[in-house]
Structure 1
Amino acid sequence: MSEMTPSAPAVRADEWAARQAAQAGGFDAIGARYDESFPHKDGQVACTDRLLETLPAGARVLDAGAGTGLPTARCLLDVGCTVTCVDFSAEMLNLARTNVPEATFIHADILDLPDDPGQYEAVTAFFSLLMLPRAQIDTTLRLFHRILTPGGRLALAMVEADVDDMPIPFLGHWLRVTAYTRAAWRAVLAEAGFVVEWEDSRTYVPELAAPPEIQLFTLCRRV
């Protein structure tokens, strides 16, 4: 394994549970303000549209870190996909139940998802992996690889930077975030068993008090 994706360090279960509870609590408090702060999701929609071009009718899709269900789960459901929304924030998942009631909902940490091979033709993870440390991102990508069908697609969005589990203020709350440079992110995906088929980057300026960011959108195929 390369230096870019080291083996996950030993983390006490209680420490990890406390960390994730704090992360989820931040999103519980933010709630609908997230969509108010990030109303323009053209990059996310474009990546989802690219994904849909590759999927069979009625594809099973896991929306990992579904948030409010908008726009991704809504777009997928509208074209006939079967969608499972997972999120560690109970409040975000409640908003998703209102916005996309046709979906199936799982209130859980992504890392606690059932590890059954070939469950989904696609996984979407828009800005959800950046809530994990790098070692756990590697673990999650390998989980995604196992639960996808052969040749299944993975659509992702990250923010471009070089930080690992860094605390930042976000809409009045402190969250821990991780990001990669573009080249490092490609290498992480390749090591987890994915081929990049399409990518895009966009500068985004949030509506509320948050700094501009470079958003990276990637569509991958499981190999």
Structure 2
Amino acid sequence: MPVVTSDDWLADTRASYDTVAVSYADQLRDAIAGDPYLRAALAVFADQVRAAGGGPVADVGCGPGHVTAHLQGLGVDAFGIDLSPGMIDVARRARPDLRFEVGSMTDLPLRDASVAGLLAWWSLIHIPDDEVPTVLAHFHRVLRPGGPLQLGFHVGDTSRVKTEGYGGHPMAVHVHRRRPDEVAAWLRDAGFEIEAHWLCGPDEQVPQALLFARRPA
């Protein structure tokens, strides 16, 4: 496989999700409603935000905004950020009452200590290992002291290039599967405290993990 530069993988990821934005939104429309564990994780996150004093919450890698909208329904002042303008267009059409912005988690366009909580579900999976510390440093920077962080990701030890998805559309996006202990170590190195770890579908071919962390007060 040829060496992929930072600009290449970012451009490829953006273009891939621009291509699949509409079909992706269609396929994931009922994902939260159909999964009690995801709903429970979001309910825990919403409670943590309220317990920390409330305030704006960033859904980073928000895609078509279905998680952002669910958080809003839980009484959280949530807004979404995504690398893909196509995804943001879909999110804005679906929920014009919510705030959605184009931006990259590798250079997060938020002020220091400006959000009360941050959630990144299955978006860190496209970030190369050597870029993860930069991303987590941005997460730590923008979170208020005491603010919760929740990460969702695929569990495993492999990386691959996804060339097709969501209705058969062409894609060129790297997908990295990682062990929870590895991600937790990165979070600790970035200054976070780990509070909980959920493993969903442990008997499935690709389990899913949720890590609950917090920027210390």
Question: TM-score normalised to the size of structure 1?
Answer: 0.81
Match for residue 148 of structure 1?
A: 143
| TM-fit CA distance, 1:220 | 0.9
1:46 equivalent to 2:40? Answer: yes
Contact 2:153 2:208 in 1 (8 A): yes
Structural RMSD (CA): 2.5
Counterpart of 1:52, as a letter, is A
Match for residue 100 of structure 2?
A: 105
Cα separation, partners in 2 of 1:214 and 1:220, compared to 1, 3 Å:
same
1:217 equivalent to 2:210? Answer: yes
1:67 equivalent to 2:63? Answer: yes
Counterpart of 1:197, as a letter, is E
State the identity %: 25
Q: Which of 133, 138, 143 is residue 138 of structure 1 equivalent to?
A: 133
Contact 2:192 2:215 in 1 (8 A): yes
Three-state SS of the structure 1 residue aligned to 2:132 is helix
Give the Cα separation in 1 of the matches to 2:99 and 2:20. 23
CA deviations on 1:137-156 (whole Å, 9 max, x unpaired) are 12111110111011111011
Question: TM-score normalised to the size of structure 2?
Answer: 0.83
- Between structures 1 and 2, the one with greater strand share: 1
Cα separation, partners in 2 of 1:24 and 1:154, compared to 1, 3 Å:
same
1:85 equivalent to 2:75? Answer: no
Match for residue 174 of structure 2?
A: 176
Give the Cα separation in 1 of the matches to 2:41 and 2:179. 19
Give the Cα separation in 2 of the matches to 1:52 and 1:82. 10
Counterpart of 1:191, as a letter, is D
Count of residue correspondences: 204
| TM-fit CA distance, 1:123 | 0.5
Three-state SS of the structure 2 residue aligned to 1:154 is strand
Gaps in structure 1 of 5+ consecutive residues:
1-10, 206-210
Q: Which of 184, 187, 200 is residue 189 of structure 1 equivalent to?
A: 187
Gaps in structure 2 of 5+ consecutive residues:
none
Three-state SS of the structure 1 residue aligned to 2:112 is coil
Cα separation, partners in 2 of 1:212 and 1:103, compared to 1, 3 Å:
farther
Counterpart of 1:96, as a letter, is A
Cα separation, partners in 2 of 1:142 and 1:196, compared to 1, 3 Å:
same
| TM-fit CA distance, 1:115 | 5.3
